[in-house]
């Protein structure tokens, strides 16, 4: 049991974490073993995501003072929460883990100011991460430059053949 000071500290800590997190995803973890929870926490920690088992009643008190107060109804039963700056990565990890372990159930969450249901979290999980999006953009931008460079570096005879073929069309 927590004493009054510990509860106040818990509420302050949770309020701070909810306010500074860009994404909050709420789950039920009932039926997961300790080793499965440790594995999930490890996967989350590798990406700077906090995965925390919550105390519902006092977590709801912490939520009252934050931008996340709309999701307080999700905090019933054996609840755990993922708090992160990157909604896509946390949604991907939780969605993948819930497919591997049916005992982890995603309830919903919040991303920025948008409230997400289960389908919303799964949709976010299909989006590319920031690094994946950057790689795609670089690939798109590099492709035309490579074509131009290969044409410029080709011998003059190849350019003449290419021009002849284009003129026949």
Tens-digit pLDDT profile for residues 91-133: 999 999 999 988 899 999 988 888 888 888 888 888 777 777 7
- Token pair in block for residue 148: 């131009």
| H or E element, residue 53 | strand 50-53
Helix-then-strand count for the chain, H and E: 7, 5
- Token pair in block for residue 149: 């460079």
- With beta carbons less than 8 A apart as the criterion, state whether 41 and 51 touch: yes
Average pLDDT over residues 1-19: 86
- With beta carbons less than 8 A apart as the criterion, state whether 130 and 138 touch: no
- Token pair in block for residue 119: 């389908």
Bridge-based pairing of strands 105-111 and 23-28 is antiparallel
| H or E element, residue 25 | strand 23-28
- What is the residue extent of each domain of the chain? 4-127, 131-168
Q: Which CATH superfamily is domain 4-127 in?
A: Ribosomal protein L10, N-terminal RNA-binding domain (3.30.70.1730)
- With beta carbons less than 8 A apart as the criterion, state whether 86 and 23 touch: yes
Band (159; pLDDT cuts 50, 70, 90) = low
Residue with tokens 């299909």: 126
CA pair distance 77, 31, nearest whole angstrom: 12
Q: pLDDT tens-digit profile of 44-103?
A: 999 899 999 988 898 888 888 788 888 888 889 899 999 998 888 889 999 999 999 888
The CA-atom distances, in angstroms, between 28 and each of 11, 34, 54, 118 are 20, 14, 10, 12
Crossing angle between the packed helical segments 118-126 and 87-100, to the nearest 10 degrees: 110
3-state secondary structure at position 80: strand
Band (152; pLDDT cuts 50, 70, 90) = low
């Amino acid at each position: 049991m927590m004493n009054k000071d510990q509860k106040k500290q818990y509420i302050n800590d949770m309020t701070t974490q909810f306010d500074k997190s860009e994404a909050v995803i709420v789950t039920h973890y009932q039926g997961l073993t300790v080793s499965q929870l440790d594995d999930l926490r490890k996967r989350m920690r590798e990406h700077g995501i906090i995965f925390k088992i919550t105390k519902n009643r006092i977590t709801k008190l912490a939520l009252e003072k934050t931008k996340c107060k709309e999701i307080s109804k999700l905090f019933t039963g054996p609840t755990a929460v993922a708090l992160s700056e990157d909604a896509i990565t946390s949604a991907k990890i939780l969605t993948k883990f819930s497919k591997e372990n049916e005992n982890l159930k995603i309830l919903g969450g919040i991303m920025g100011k948008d409230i997400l249901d289960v389908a919303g979290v799964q949709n976010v999980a299909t989006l590319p991460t920031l690094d994946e999006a950057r790689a795609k953009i670089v690939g798109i931008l590099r492709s035309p430059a490579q074509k131009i460079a290969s044409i410029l570096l080709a011998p003059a005879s190849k350019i003449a053949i290419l021009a002849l073929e284009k003129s026949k069309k």
